[in-house]
Amino acid sequence: MTEPAEDFREHFQGRRVLVTGGLGFIGSNLAQRLVDCGAEVTLVDSLIPEYGGNTFNVKGFEDGVSVNIADVRDPHSMRYLIQDKDYLFNLAGQTSHMDSMSDPFTDLEINCRAQLSILEACRNYNSDVRLVFASTRQLYGKPERLPVDEHHLLRPVDVNGINKMAGEWYHILYNNVYGIPATSLRLTNTYGPRMRIKDARQTFLGIWLRLVLEGRPFEVWGGEQLRDFTYVDDAVDAFLLAAIRPRAVGGIFNVGGDAVVSLEELAALLVEANDGNGEFTVREFPGDRKRIDIGDYYADDGLIRKMLSWQPRVSLVEGLRRSLAFYREHLPNYL
């Protein structure tokens, strides 16, 4: 069974924690949990408009965090920010697959050079900091077999996947060579409150949520592709467990979901979760998207379940309901 959220307090109360990308989707949800656990939380975020940071994401617990608007590529900022921290959750990154193809050099800067900057700051000024990195299932590319475990061949289908792969392995290298205790989590389709919904840079599900709440139809591309989805609270559990479990050090773990569904089934579940309100159409993938589509994907997350006692606690239907409720209340702040 997953360790109850309230038990994390004994590990994080009074501890100094740095979250890069802390005003973003997962970073802000993680920050709220850490504040609830009594941690001293510092968030660093560049607030580059395209990358998902939103100051509203800390609404309601802003007094419990210190926010530093800075670019993690700046060595002077990171030198200052890292020095006294017990934990570093590294969620700084560019997540858009299409942006990485149209502007590969910026993706290289954010997902490679920025990671080296963070790791060099750790090596030089705080090599004992416990570090957890947000990686992605995008590293696997088009699966050869399902479900996909951590031993599957890595062959990304876009620039973003290649750069995220490099970022992950920088962390493992610095763990192995310099002794910086690092863990990588390969996330899959994380969703929930505070995710970016004004465009598809973070996830297509965000666009679906927005259109459903606005009473407009949405499109399902392909429809038959299989996916798994992780509710953000479950993803936060994985980050916290990875940080406190000694056996996680140096490890790479898939984080999956509670169910495997087709995209068309997901669309129907979303309409159902919205009290039956909503319409969608199924169409073929646009050509530019089809070239980097990976087909079916769902994770074998047996390793994190076995090693870290993690498992998803929020069902897909419940997670969709919670997400819709959040955006009904706060939609203008995310458009």
Residue 287's pLDDT is 64
Query: Which H or E element spans position 292?
Result: none
Query: Which H or E element spans position 255?
Result: none
Q: What is the pTM of this model?
A: 0.94
Residue 103's pLDDT is 84
Residue 109's pLDDT is 82
Residue 3's pLDDT is 44
What is the spatial distance between Cα 133 and Cα 230, in angstroms, rounded to a whole number? 17
How do beta strands 190-191 and 40-45 pair?
unpaired
What is the spatial distance between Cα 5 and Cα 27, in angstroms, rounded to a whole number? 17
Helices 263-273 + 316-330 axis angle, to 10:
60
What are the residues facing 40 on neighbouring strands? 16
Extents of the domains making up the chain: 5-334
Asked if 138 and 203 touch (Cβ cutoff 8 Å), the reply is no
Residue 71's pLDDT is 87
Tokens found for residue 284:
């073929």
Per-residue burial over 30-56, b if 16 or more Cβ lie within 10 Å, else e, is bbbbbbebebbbbbbbbeeeebbbbee
DSSP state of 50: G
Q: Is 215 exposed, middle or buried (0-12, 13-18, 19+ CB in 10 A)?
A: exposed
What is the spatial distance between Cα 168 and Cα 131, in angstroms, rounded to a whole number? 12
Q: How far is CA 62 from CA 59, 206, 302, in A?
A: 6, 24, 36
Question: Considering all CA atoms of the chain, what is the largest pairwise distance in Å, rounded to the nearest integer?
Answer: 55
What is the spatial distance between Cα 13 and Cα 214, in angstroms, rounded to a whole number? 41
Neighbouring residues of 7: CB distance < 8 A, sequence distance ≥ 6? none
Tokens found for residue 227:
């996916």
300-323: per-residue pLDDT in tens?
Answer: 999 999 999 999 999 999 999 999
What are the residues facing 69 on neighbouring strands? 45
34-73: per-residue pLDDT in tens?
Answer: 999 999 999 999 888 776 789 999 999 999 999 999 988 8
The per-residue pLDDT string of the chain (335 residues; one tens digit each, 9 = 90 and over) reads 344 444 899 999 999 999 999 999 999 999 999 999 999 999 999 888 776 789 999 999 999 999 999 988 888 889 999 999 999 999 987 766 677 788 888 888 888 899 999 999 999 999 999 999 999 999 999 999 999 999 999 999 888 899 999 999 999 999 999 999 999 999 999 999 999 998 876 688 999 999 999 999 999 988 889 999 999 999 999 999 999 999 999 999 999 998 999 999 999 999 999 999 999 999 887 766 666 678 899 999 999 999 999 999 999 999 999 999 999 999 999 98
Alpha helices in the chain (DSSP H): 9-12, 25-36, 75-82, 97-102, 104-108, 114-125, 159-178, 204-213, 232-244, 263-273, 287-290, 302-308, 316-330
Asked if 210 and 249 touch (Cβ cutoff 8 Å), the reply is no
CATH number, domain 5-334: 3.40.50.720
What is the spatial distance between Cα 187 and Cα 297, in angstroms, rounded to a whole number? 12
Q: Where are the beta strands (DSSP E) in 52-157?
A: 65-69, 87-90, 130-136
Residue 289's pLDDT is 62
Neighbouring residues of 200: CB distance < 8 A, sequence distance ≥ 6? 96, 98, 206, 207
Residue 292's pLDDT is 62
